[in-house]
């Protein structure tokens, strides 16, 4: 969606849904001869429900599985209040972003950053999107491989669902399973040209997240009636300064849980009535907040102080209810399928921003089939390679992804309001913007410090083990 001036309309045959399907859509020819799609005609308008599903799918990703652990750190009361507070901040940042976009007549998040901060601001935004989305997609692919084919990253091999069913074979190995997933799921869905085309898969992705929630809630309720669940902590366990500092480690999880800003303009541009974007945002945040609160609540109730950083890892043992192993498999498979269907929605923004960064003056990507196919194929191939051969990307993502994510969700919109290029920011906007920046910067510092400290301790522990092992070997020699 390039930025154009004084468009004139003509009719032209363009590919609308996928490279194999053609339909007649409105195209705008600009003074410089470039083209951009117009969504003003009703035939190409996205539905309200489809837009809610697409935005909700952008919001709900792998981070949902870390919310029960955040609840364990904060306690039920502060945990639930924190989720509601972050939903409010996300709504505020999105409202600011879209309000400034309308005044600037911007068609993308990058356009708004360009208006506020020039080409440098647009470049910083595009780099942040590339780091964030590429990191997210690699992590999603790695997790899918872990769930289906197992993992040995912790030193102990945890069997995946397919390994448990069919045993350890080349056909259940990570490389083959992810190759099939890429060909059967990622590639076909990645070649859709309109994000509204993903409304059905996005609806299914939200449904799969609800399946996880329903199963977890059902198991929790059964165990509550059996009296096998201890009373949860309502408040955090604070004993010293170290425990107080530990409370802030939940901040990055909560801050990044609601970031969907890089896709909101794409969804807005495909709506027949652009005034509907605010109701879409509100409905999506209410839906996702409800799922987040219930998932965090029931996950923490079910596993208590044994809740792991990724609650999915808790679903590999006997849950103490009938058909425990079957329920474990259903939970893990539904989660893997959920991530598969989230993949193309995140990928959509990654491809667009990469094209806008590399080919800023080229015609619209939707009208150039060759460039569209090459970028799509190249990105999907690169993601597959990274997920197979760079499994430690998770550690890298904790630094780059977390930083880029909070920039996109809170720092950039707040900075736009403080810059106020059109003099429309209210006093409330500026106060909330300062709050968002302080919160985002602080959570980033905590996340980076915590991750660096954990890696240092891990390295130090490994070095001590090596020395302890080498010492008796020298004595024997």
* Residues 323-333: tens digit of each pLDDT: 888 888 888 88
Domain-embedded: residue 9: no
Residue 458 has pLDDT above 70, yes or no: no
Query: In terms of Cα–Cα distance, which of 278, 294, 280 is closest to 84?
Result: 294
Burial of 296-319, coded b for 16+ CB within 10 Å and e otherwise, reads bbbbbbbbeeebbebbbbbbeeeb
HSE-CB for 134 with a 13 A CA cutoff: 23
Tell me the per-residue pLDDT of 360-396, one tens digit each, with 9 for 90 and over: 887 877 778 889 999 999 999 999 988 887 755 555 5
Whole-angstrom CA distances from 29 to 40, 275, 369 are: 15, 25, 18
Distant-in-sequence, close-in-space partners of 299: CB < 8 Å, separation ≥ 6: 67, 68, 71, 216, 307, 311
- The CATH number of whichever domain residue 416 belongs to comes to 1.20.1740.10
pLDDT of residue 19: 43
Domain-embedded: residue 20: no
Tell me the per-residue pLDDT of 133-152, one tens digit each, with 9 for 90 and over: 888 888 888 888 878 877 66
pTM, two decimals, is 0.76
Query: In terms of Cα–Cα distance, which of 360, 262, 351 is closest to 3?
Result: 360
Q: How confident is the model at residue 7 (pLDDT cuts 50, 70, 90)?
A: very low
* Per-residue tokens: 300: 């923490």
Residue 231 has pLDDT above 80, yes or no: no
Query: In terms of Cα–Cα distance, which of 274, 211, 204, 203 is closest to 64?
Result: 211
Mean pLDDT of 402-412: 83
Domain-embedded: residue 234: yes
Residue 18 has pLDDT above 50, yes or no: no
Q: How confident is the model at residue 33 (pLDDT cuts 50, 70, 90)?
A: very low
Whether residue 28 contacts residue 35, with contact meaning beta carbons closer than 8 Å, is answered with yes
For the chain, what is the domain count?
A: 1
Mean pLDDT of 87-115: 90
pLDDT of residue 413: 93
Q: What is the DSSP string of 84-98?
A: HHHHHHHHHHHHHHH
In this structure, the number of other CB atoms found within 10 A of the CB of residue 134 comes to: 23
Mean pLDDT of 230-239: 74
Mean pLDDT of 285-300: 90
Whether residue 26 contacts residue 44, with contact meaning beta carbons closer than 8 Å, is answered with yes
The larger pLDDT score, comparing residue 390 to residue 104, is at 104
> Which alpha helices (H) appear in 109-259, and where do they start and end?
109-149, 161-166, 174-181, 187-190, 199-226, 241-247, 251-256
Mean pLDDT of the chain: 77
Residue 246 has pLDDT above 60, yes or no: yes
Q: How confident is the model at residue 34 (pLDDT cuts 50, 70, 90)?
A: very low
Whether residue 22 contacts residue 15, with contact meaning beta carbons closer than 8 Å, is answered with yes
The larger pLDDT score, comparing residue 52 to residue 236, is at 52
Q: How confident is the model at residue 431 (pLDDT cuts 50, 70, 90)?
A: very high
Domain-embedded: residue 34: no
Look up residue 150 and give its DSSP letter. Answer: -
Residue with structure tokens 């990469």?
354
CA angle 184, 133, 208 (to 5 degrees): 50
Whole-angstrom CA distances from 31 to 7, 44, 111, 325, 372 are: 7, 24, 19, 63, 23
What domain range includes position 298? 47-267+275-345+371-466
Domain-embedded: residue 380: yes
β-strands 22-29, 8-15 pairing: antiparallel
Domain-embedded: residue 36: no
pLDDT of residue 419: 92
Domain-embedded: residue 75: yes
Give residue 261's Cα distance to chain centre: 11
Mean pLDDT of 54-62: 81
pLDDT of residue 440: 81
Q: How confident is the model at residue 41 (pLDDT cuts 50, 70, 90)?
A: very low
Tell me the per-residue pLDDT of 175-227, one tens digit each, with 9 for 90 and over: 888 899 999 989 898 888 887 788 888 888 888 888 888 888 888 888 888 87
CA-CA distance, 291 to 434, in Å (whole number)?
28
Q: How confident is the model at residue 454 (pLDDT cuts 50, 70, 90)?
A: low
Give, to the nearest 10 degrees, the angle between helix 369-389 and helix 174-181: 160
Residue 132 has pLDDT above 80, yes or no: yes
CA-CA distance, 118 to 419, in Å (whole number)?
12
The larger pLDDT score, comparing residue 464 to residue 217, is at 217
Percent of the chain with pLDDT over 70: 77
Q: How confident is the model at residue 445 (pLDDT cuts 50, 70, 90)?
A: confident
25 strand-pairing partners: 12
β-strands 35-37, 8-15 pairing: unpaired
Which of the residue ranges 259-268, 303-312, 455-464 has the most confident prediction, judged by mean pLDDT? Answer: 259-268
Residue 128 has pLDDT above 80, yes or no: yes
Domain-embedded: residue 400: yes
Residue 36 has pLDDT above 50, yes or no: no
Distant-in-sequence, close-in-space partners of 427: CB < 8 Å, separation ≥ 6: none
């Amino acid at each position: 969606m390039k930025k154009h001036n004084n468009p004139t309309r003509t009719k032209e045959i363009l590919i609308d849904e996928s490279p194999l399907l053609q339909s007649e859509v409105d195209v705008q020819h600009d003074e410089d001869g470039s083209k951009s799609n117009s969504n003003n005609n009703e035939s190409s308008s996205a539905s309200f429900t489809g837009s809610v599903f697409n935005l909700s799918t952008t919001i709900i990703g792998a981070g949902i599985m870390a919310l029960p652990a955040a609840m364990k750190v904060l306690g039920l009361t502060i945990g639930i209040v924190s989720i509601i507070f972050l939903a409010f901040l996300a709504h505020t940042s999105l409202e600011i972003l879209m309000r400034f976009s309308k005044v600037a007549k911007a068609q993308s998040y990058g356009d708004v950053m360009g208006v506020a901060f020039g080409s440098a601001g647009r470049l910083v935004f595009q780099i942040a999107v590339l780091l964030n989305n590429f990191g997210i997609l690699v992590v999603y692919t790695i997790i899918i491989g872990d769930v289906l084919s197992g993992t040995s990253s912790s030193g102990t091999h945890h069997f995946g669902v397919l390994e448990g069913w069919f045993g350890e074979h080349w056909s259940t190995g990570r490389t083959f399973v992810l190759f099939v997933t890429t060909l059967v799921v990622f590639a076909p869905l990645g070649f859709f040209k309109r994000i509204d085309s993903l409304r059905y898969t996005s609806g299914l992705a939200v449904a799969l997240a609800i399946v996880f929630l329903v199963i977890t809630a059902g198991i929790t309720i059964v165990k509550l009636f059996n009296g096998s669940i201890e009373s949860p902590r309502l408040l955090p366990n604070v004993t010293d300064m170290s425990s107080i500092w530990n409370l802030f480690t939940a901040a990055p999880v909560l801050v990044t849980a609601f970031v969907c800003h890089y896709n909101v303009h794409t969804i807005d541009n495909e709506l027949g009535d652009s005034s509907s974007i605010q109701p879409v945002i509100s409905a999506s945040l209410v839906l996702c907040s409800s799922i987040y609160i219930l998932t965090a609540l029931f996950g923490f109730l079910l596993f208590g102080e044994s809740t792991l950083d990724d609650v999915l890892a808790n679903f590999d043992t006997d849950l103490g209810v009938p058909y425990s192993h079957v329920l474990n498999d259903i939970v893990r498979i539904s989660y893997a399928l959920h991530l598969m269907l989230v993949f193309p929605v995140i990928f959509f923004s990654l491809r667009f921003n990469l094209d806008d960064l590399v080919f800023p003056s080229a015609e619209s990507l939707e009208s150039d089939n060759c460039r569209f196919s090459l970028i799509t194929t190249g990105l999907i191939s690169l993601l597959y390679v990274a997920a197979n051969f760079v499994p430690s990307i998770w550690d890298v993502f904790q630094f780059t992804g977390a930083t880029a994510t909070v920039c996109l969700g809170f720092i950039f919109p707040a900075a736009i309001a403080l810059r106020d290029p059109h003099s429309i920011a209210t006093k409330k906007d500026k106060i909330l913007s300062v709050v968002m920046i302080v919160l985002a910067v602080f959570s980033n510092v905590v996340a980076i410090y915590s991750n660096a400290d954990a890696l240092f301790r891990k390295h130090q522990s490994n070095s001590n083990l090596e020395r302890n092992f080498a010492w008796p070997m020298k004595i024997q020699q």
